[in-house]
Amino acid sequence: MVAFFLPRASDDEQAERLYEALAEFAGCEPAPRGQRVRAIAFPQDGAQWVAEVREELRGQRTTQQLRRGELIERTETLTSSTRVLAVYPGRPFVVVTDAQPITGTPSEWANPFHADPDRVTWFDAS
């Protein structure tokens, strides 16, 4: 497990302030230490995506096609230049990115956006 961190924070105190500010922006409650999310994997629009703090959103879409009686499976790698700043647990989980309106960067993802993960990776509880 990895200790809690946020991109753009130079120390633990600043990370805490930023975590609380991003939760306020997202309209959700900041999670207490020991319940903070490092990454989630979730389905969205027929693809499996991963939102990991400090990383760009990434995903995979697998399609199947029947060709001449043979089932052909193709896996497409999906990428987004949208970088994850924080993930907040809940029903649904809330993901905050570095896209508009936080920065001027446009994105195909809303900011924040909601996701129902099928896998969660937590930060270290310490």
pLDDT tens-digit map of 6-38: 888 888 889 899 999 999 999 999 999 889 999
Q: With contact defined as beta carbons under 8 Å apart, do 20 and 32 qualify? A: no
Within-domain flag for 64: no
- Can you give the pLDDT at residue 62? 92
Domain for residue 114, yes or no?
yes
CA nearest neighbour of 24 among 103, 96, 92: 96
Domain that holds residue 101: 12-43+51-56+81-122
Residue 36 lies in a domain: yes
Question: DSSP class of residue 69?
Answer: T
Residue 70 lies in a domain: no
In this structure, the strands spanning 47-52 and 119-122 are: unpaired
Per-residue pLDDT at 1: 55
Please count the other Cβ atoms lying within 10 Å of the Cβ belonging to residue 45: 8
Q: Is the pLDDT of residue 125 over 90?
A: no
Is 118 within a domain? yes
**Count of domains observed in the chain:** 1
In a domain, 16, yes or no: yes
Q: How far apart are CA 91 and CA 36, in angstroms?
A: 14
- 60-78 residue pLDDT tens: 999 888 888 888 889 999 9
Q: How far is CA 121 from CA 5, 10, 24, in A?
A: 14, 23, 22
User: Does 117 reside within a domain?
Assistant: yes
